[in-house]
Chains A and B, each alone.
Chain A
Amino acid sequence: MDFGYPVLTILIAFPLVAACGLFFLRAPQVVRYYTMAVSLIECLLAIPLTGFQMNAEFQFVEKLDWVHQWGLQYYLGVDGISILMVLLTIAVLPLCVMCSWTYIGKREKEFHFCLLFMTSAVLGVFCALDLVLFYVFWEAMLIPMYLLIAVWGGDDRKYASLKFFLYTLAGSTLLLAAIVAFRVTGGTFSIPELMEMNFTFRFQFWAFLAMALAFAIKVPMFPFHTWLPAAHVQAPSAGSVILAAVLLKMGTYGFLRFCLPLTPAASEYFAPMMIAISIVSILYGGAIALGQTDIKKLVAYSSVGHMGFVTLGIFLFNQQGVQGALFQMLNHGIVTGALFMMIGAVYERSHSRDIKDNMGLGKYLPAFMFFWGMMALASFGFPGTNGFVGEMLVLVGAFKYSTWIGFLCIPGALLAAAYMFRVSLKMAWGKPSTAKTWRDLNAREWIMLTIPAVFVFWIGLAPAPFYKIINPSIDKLLNDFDKRKVVQVEADSPMQTAANDVLSVVAGKE
């Protein structure tokens, strides 16, 4: 431990412990102030993380025996990859509280309990260095998210929440099997130790598939994305924000943390497939977004495309690609989170998410439109915004990998510009319906939009500090990957080996 006190444990435990305090409160307004205070204290508690050293080591490490016989450990730590996600999660919490200030009209206590519980779980996912601990947090986050959609969601909330729950949990059950397989083969659940090991290709093949399914559903990649638009559209604003900003990142984080370091040979083998799926996600997400009339659905589908860029970057295995992917994870969290907050704000005014009901805002809600325009530009990667940095890096990486792949991504970027311009133009200059009577942003909304806006330009204009944090970890990740991606491949071709595995299982031989 660098600080003599367990900063990560405190960060994870504080929201959960504080959430229990909610049950002693009654008035909804008090509940909101209390949660706001908790989220701000959580931000203060994160200050020790500024002591992060710019190297690739796991830092702020905490290690305790959990179940000795099974080698389970309570093992936490962050490196350059996870610390950004931790900070993002912590930063998103107060914004979520703010954007649901007037939005949530019932069961406020439970709502804020779910928000805090989820924050704890997600922080745990990004900090865990023990596979089982990771899995525990990974699953624990499902319940509050399910409730957020199922209780405070839109009209079709039951369908959406059930779909979300079943999809993600079904995906992660195989992840559990992979985790156990790692332990039996590698002898430990400790992620840093497993990162040092070389597994046979046959093993990697299956482990990769089991893990990748769980992560691909969470990202979500085409064709496992169908839960996402439903969940986003039905979820309350805060739910959408947290879903877009951090939950989707858990999937791509999984690829970076597990697939590349633990199954490098299989990652290399499956990379063409993953790249192909990523490109399909980019193009498909963009094309479908272009046809939406519901603003929230549009942004939801745009997420499929944006996250496609992230997975593409990861599976390019070059520095620019992975850097870009990490930047895009951060950017997407900031920008899409902000867009969802704005959709919530406009919905509170018009009680509709249809584009045609929300037009003419340029004249009557100039401040709102200012922020919307900024986020829209950032969303499709306009130079000077954070989106540009990430998308550009992924594109450079793609061209470096193969010119063809690079060219295939270009339409995705264009589509993003097209659907964002389309919706922004209509919202700004379309024929106003009832917008004349609406009030522009209030102080609370100003605050909650200014914070992401600062980051849009900070990352867009001066990304150097962020590079410094992530680069050592990415270099180590890629160096290790390059060294270990070639292991002895069995005499048969991989697919043949896989087929033999299946046959031997069916025949009862192990």
Chain B
Amino acid sequence: MNFNLTALVPELFFLGLVLVLMVQSLGTREWKPAVEKWLPFGACAAFFVSITGFGLHGTMFWDVYKVDMMSQFFKIAIAFGFYVTVLNASKQSTLEEGKRADYYMLLGFSTLGLMMLASSVELITIYLALELASYAMYAVIPLRAKSKGAAEAGIKYILFGAVATALALYGLSYIMATMHTTYISELMTKSWAFADNPMAVVGLSLFLAGMFFKLALFPFHFWCPDVYQGASNETAAFVATMPKMGAIVVLVRIAVLLKPGLEITTLLAVLGACSMTFGNLSALAQTDIKRLLGFSSVAHAGYIMVGLVSGTYEGVAAAAFYALAYLVMNLLVFWVVSRVASDGRNLKLTDLNGLYKKAPVLAFSLAAGAFALVGLPPTMGFMGKFFLITSAWGHGYNWLVIVLVLNSAIAIYYYLSLFRHAFTEEKAPGKVADPDTSWFASAGAAMLAASVLAIGMIPAPMFNFAINAGKSLYGIAVAVSGGGH
């Protein structure tokens, strides 16, 4: 068993963090110091440790675990996401006092699972990491105190999750039976045409279903709007972003199997197209912001498929970049949502009315987030979408690009309504709690908004990381299959 401790520094740091949280969560009473006092620093440190770990590489545990540029790219993104979620959740009003350490511990476990998912290059390892990431989430969703909706959301999430992972496991057995291996690098050398290996193709489709569930891709998305709505704003911010990163990194790794023109690739493209269209059309009718964002994330899952089916390292890099963009812009919008709903209620669109007056920084940040989600320049969302369609055009799925483009046009309406309510409407109906306008709230929103805009205007450095990571992935392809790409 090959084992390289230094290559695992980000994971080990995270494991340490989670263990401390675990110790703190023992017992019934809150321990001192309160978890919110130290965890943000710990999470920030974890983020920086992930950054310093960018150059690490190596394979270990009988080659099922691979530390490469792609995994490190995603680990940085995941660590960043965790850091922002911890900050975001630090003032959560709907969480009971005694459950705080448990809450963060579960989030931490889930994050650790996602980090491991980023490095897994073997299907069973992927499955295990996925389960580690999921089980913690099953417990977190219903933590919203005294809410029936939260219980419903929790049950929905568990049931859907169980079915999806069962399907994945079932599919895994088919792949093993036909291909006699579960290593992605070896699977790459096999034929994935339906005519050659029908069982394996069916198996892979089922295995992918597990990832699609996490990603909320059509038709595995039914949990998504309900869970967002049922979970507290802060938890929804986590669920909406982090598990998606995990799913995308696995899909990015599996995408090297998906040459354009294969049945399974076409299936993915079709699911992507359905996902975009269905998500966007459903979002048009929503008035609850979290439900709206839920359906929007279904659409975004579809967008990411565009990069994955192109069968090029540019496509993979574009998907990775878009995943990062998606993470940042969604965290931004959820940050604003959590701050506006300072009492933890679910926001309606009309609750945003007049936000520009009450909290100009939040309103401006929301605008940046909403326009990034639409894909308007000069934001990260635009660049991400642009890279996606550039990578996919000319590789056999031009129709998918057109579907994406038309879907962006549909999506404008509901994202614009976020902006419209915040900027052009004057008064919120009824009496509601005022948005949190503390310097902490404003600074967080402004920083996220600034990164959405800055990376949108100067995407090259970040995109270089993604493209190198994409190349490293296909670099393996060259080494194993002996053929160039």
Binding site for B on A (CB under 8 A): 65-70, 132, 135-137, 139-140, 142-143, 146-147, 150-151, 157-158, 161-162, 165-166, 169-170, 173-174, 176-177, 180-181, 183-185, 505-506, 508, 510
Contact = CB atoms under 8 A, between A and B. Distances in A.
A66 B423 contact: no
B399 interface: yes
Interface string B397-422: 11101100110110011001000100
Nearest to B458: A66
Given A69-B467, A150-B423, A181-B393, 17 more contacts: A67-B383, A67-B463, A137-B377, A139-B376, A139-B377, A140-B377, A143-B367, A143-B376, A150-B420, A161-B424, A170-B412, A173-B405, A176-B405, A177-B401, A180-B393, A508-B266, A510-B396
Given A139-B376, A510-B398, A158 B424 contact: yes
27 contacts: A65-B460, A66-B460, A69-B314, A132-B386, A135-B377, A136-B377, A136-B378, A140-B376, A142-B376, A150-B420, A151-B423, A151-B424, A162-B420, A165-B412, A170-B409, A170-B412, A173-B405, A174-B405, A176-B405, A177-B393, A177-B405, A180-B401, A183-B393, A184-B390, A505-B398, A506-B399, A510-B398
B383 to A, nearest CB: 8
Contacts of A185: 394
B157 interface: no
Contacts of B423: 147, 150-151
Closest 5 CB pairs of A and B: A136-B377, A170-B409, A184-B394, A150-B424, A173-B409
Contacts of B367: 143
Contacts of A142: 376
Nearest to B392: A180
Nearest to B376: A139
Nearest to B466: A69
Contacts of B416: 146, 162, 165-166
Contact of B387 (A70, A165, A169, A181): A70
Nearest to B377: A136
B278 interface: no
Nearest to B357: A107
Interface residues of B, number: 36
Contacts of A158: 420, 424
A139 B424 CA distance: 20
Nearest to A149: B424
Mostly helix, strand, loop or mixed at chain A's interface?
helix
A67 B402 CA distance: 23
Nearest to A509: B396
A162 B398 CA distance: 30
B459 interface: yes
Interface in B349-386: 367, 371, 376-378, 382-383, 386
A135 B377 CA distance: 8
A146 B424 CA distance: 10
A183 B394 CA distance: 10
A135 B396 CA distance: 25
B178 interface: no
A490 to B, nearest CB: 18
Contacts of A151: 423-424
Nearest to B412: A169
B52 interface: no
Interface in B411-443: 412-413, 416, 420, 423-424
A136 B382 contact: yes
Contacts of A510: 396-398
B386 A147 contact: no
B445 to A, nearest CB: 16
Nearest to B410: A170
Most chain B beta-carbon neighbours within 10 Å: one of A66, A176, A505: A176
B393 A143 contact: no
B389 interface: yes
B191 interface: no
Nearest to A183: B390
A157 B426 CA distance: 13
B472 to A, nearest CB: 15
A177 B409 CA distance: 12
Contacts of A180: 386, 389-390, 393, 401
Contacts of A132: 386
A113 to B, nearest CB: 11
A213 B228 CA distance: 38
Given A136-B382, A139-B377, A170-B409, A69 B464 contact: yes
Nearest to B402: A177
A106 B383 CA distance: 35
A140 B376 CA distance: 7
B463 A166 contact: no
Nearest to A169: B412
Contacts of B398: 505, 510
A414 to B, nearest CB: 39
Contacts of A174: 405-406
A457 B61 CA distance: 83
A161 B419 CA distance: 12
A211 to B, nearest CB: 13
A185 B406 CA distance: 21
Contacts of B406: 173-174
B424 A173 contact: no
A162 B412 CA distance: 10
A246 B378 CA distance: 21
B287 to A, nearest CB: 16
A26 to B, nearest CB: 14
B108 to A, nearest CB: 35
A186 to B, nearest CB: 11
Contact of A67 (B394, B396, B459): B459
Contacts of B467: 69
Interface core residue of A65, A68, A510 (most chain B CB under 10 Å): A510
A68 B463 CA distance: 10
Nearest to A138: B377
B389 A177 contact: yes
A51 B458 CA distance: 31
A69 B464 CA distance: 8
A162 B424 CA distance: 11
B412 A69 contact: no
Contacts of B376: 139-140, 142-143, 169
Nearest to B459: A67
A166 to B, nearest CB: 6
A494 B206 CA distance: 44
A506 B399 CA distance: 8
A185 B424 CA distance: 42
A54 B165 CA distance: 69
